[in-house]
Amino acid sequence: MSPILGKYDVRLGYLLPHLAQEQRIVLVIEFDGAKFHGWQRQDNAFTVQEAMEDAIGKLEGKDSAPSFAAAGRTDTGVHATHMLIHAEVRQTMWEKSPHAYIKGLNFHLRDAGVLVHGVKAVTNDFHARFDCFERRYQYKIWNRSVSSVLHSKQAWWVFQPLDIDKMNQSAHFLLGKHDFTTFRASGCQANAAVRNLKVLNVKQEGHFITIDVAADAFLYHMVRNIVGTLVAVGMGRWQPEYMQELLDGKNRCVAAQTAPAHGLYFTDAIYPDFSAQDISGMVG
């Protein structure tokens, strides 16, 4: 384990000699994206990372400086049911009672719109982002002629009837390893647009339409751009085969609108030995 040095003594001008050992843990969190400007800390907006760092800082003391990383970065308004992050915490406090540690974190998060619902100790070389080989999202659409008071901030309201069969037929063209330039936003900073899309499935239950998506990684706005195009097919704007033309054309301008952020959920992060959903409900 790597050590954290003790407090700085201004009178003596050096760090006090006592050491506090670190423990790396992973936490599974859910959050309401409507309350945040995405995951990553910003200078002028409240983010999930800031909420988590503040909560752990309060639990461990103001001189604590936790190291964080997340399986993925979510945009403003995007939700999560099973986002996985790793953090460095004081080993003595963690080992004393993991249960109490999580209760303490959730106490400090109670008004923030974040909840920790799973935690596990890992080795200090584990990395939430770089060790993750598959990320999963779900997009929710409320498909009814009138909107919903209850779901207006949790799903995209599409009032036109959607053809689920045609949406699934068009989704088939995107499965596998492709250049997804057509579905990346202009602000995307990824060096390459090739991704391996493993799952893209559309299903309907009542007025809810859900789109499950899984890939090794995603480009900026990739899921929301794909969803917008699937909806255009479902409305009858294009035939399913046109999805192949869009993919081959590598031109974002000719695809459909970007689906709104509030319908998107980060639902799982997959690792060699476990997933975020595996850890949900686990403490230890």
Of 267, 26, 253, 7, the closest CA to residue 123 belongs to: 26
**Partners of 121 in the β-ladder:** 25
Are both 3-131 and 134-268 of the same fold?
yes
- Dihedral angle of Cα 28, 30, 36, 42, to the nearest 10 degrees: 0
What phi and psi, each to the nearest 5 degrees, are found at residue 142?
A: -95, 105
Catalytic site residue 125? no
Alpha-carbon distance of 123 to 127, in angstroms, equals: 9
Alpha-carbon distance of 265 to 30, in angstroms, equals: 10
Q: pLDDT averaged over the chain? A: 90
pLDDT of residue 40: 83
Extents of the domains making up the chain? 3-131, 134-268
Which residue matches tokens 């659409």? 141
pLDDT of residue 11: 38
| pLDDT (tens digit per residue) in 199-221 | 999 999 999 999 999 999 999 99
CATH of domain 3-131: 3.30.70.580
> What is the sign, positive or negative, of the torsion defined by CA atoms of 15, 18, 24, 29?
negative
| pLDDT (tens digit per residue) in 24-37 | 999 999 999 999 99
Cα 150 to chain centroid distance, Å, stands at: 23
pLDDT of residue 1: 39
> What is the end-to-end Cα distance of the chain in Å, rounded?
17
CATH of domain 134-268: 3.30.70.660
> In which residue ranges of the chain is pLDDT below 50?
1-19
Q: Which of 32, 54, 75, 163 is catalytic?
A: 75
Asked if 231 contacts 243 with a C-beta cutoff of 8 angstroms, the reply is: no
